[in-house]
Amino acid sequence: MTTLRIATRGSRLARWQAERVAVLLAAEGHSTELVVVSTTGDERTDVPIHAMGGTGVFVHEVQHAVLFGRADLAVHSAKDLPAATPAGLVLASVPERADVRDALVGARLSELHAGSVAATGSVRRRVQLAALVPGIEFAELRGNIETRLKKVPESGAIVVAYAALVRLGLTAHAGDVLDPTLMLPQVAQGALAVECRADDTIAHAALRAIDDPDAHACVAAERAFLAGIGGGCDQPLGALAVRGADGALTLDALLADSGGTIHRTTVRGADAGTAPESLGEQAARELAPGPDGTAPGAAQGRGGPT
């Protein structure tokens, strides 16, 4: 039996994610081993993610390990992936998706006010919190989850993905878990993405067996929005797709313009057969910035509260 080598970052959360994929593959009869890779994002902890260009700083080296034969699979937090998959790789599997919401650690949302400090390196989180709490101030936040939990501002809060707390058994730290109507998640938040070489039929077949079709479809819709906007984690955008009881997908998406105004839209598939990517492409057309840096006025106010 061939052992599938899984490339992963070295943080406890990244290892948890890779080990979860290993467990799923073991249930299908495959043996695995981890290949730990250091990334630019891990090494440059003194620089804000958005200042490094944001997109891909936690994934490129992991992808290269697969492309150049050091590993067979790459496991990522799907929200870290750039919109475009590198030539030679395929996003072969999105296993079951965890909780998509953001969480506040420290003060609850109702306790934040003008002058309170929220620590987060995410421009998406900042623009939405600024709309919820006028006058709130922000501080940078980097490091693994355990490091971030030590950086809660006095009388303020840090903002993290709730899925990370769940996966590491740290949910007791969450003061508030924010509904997506208040804080729309990052594209593909809570999901894992597993890539392999496009010509690796053995790895591809193994990953198809652990794919969650609904999670994969939702992630595909969200990533199509990301691709259509041309952004990444350095952009003030978010998206969340859900499948309804009738099988059709609904995509909520937001983008803040250059003046900080949030624009939202909701796009719904005609039926269960609607291509997920078409929803993301439509949302991107509705929210893509115009020449002056502002989002189209027709999209303002759609999709619920900001």
Query: Alpha-carbon distance 207 to 285, whole Å?
Result: 32
Q: Which residues pair with 237 in a beta bridge?
A: 255
Spatial contact of 106 and 153, defined as CB atoms under 8 Å apart: yes
The alpha carbon torsion through 129, 131, 133, 137 (nearest 10 deg) reads: 60
* CA angle (88, 91, 92) in 5-degree steps: 105
Beta bridge partner(s), residue 265: 253
DSSP 57-70: TTTHHHHHHHHTTS
Residue type, 56: G
DSSP structural state of residue 107 = S
Q: Where are the beta strands (DSSP E) in the chain?
A: 3-8, 31-36, 73-77, 89-93, 102-106, 117-119, 137-139, 157-161, 174-178, 192-197, 237-243, 249-256, 262-268
- Tally Cβ neighbours within 10 Å of residue 77: 23
CA distances in angstroms from 277 to 64, 211, 234, listed in the order given: 26, 18, 22
Q: Which residues are catalytic?
A: 80
Nearest to 252 by CA among 273, 269, 235: 269
Question: CA 301, CA 59: separation in Å to the nearest integer?
Answer: 34
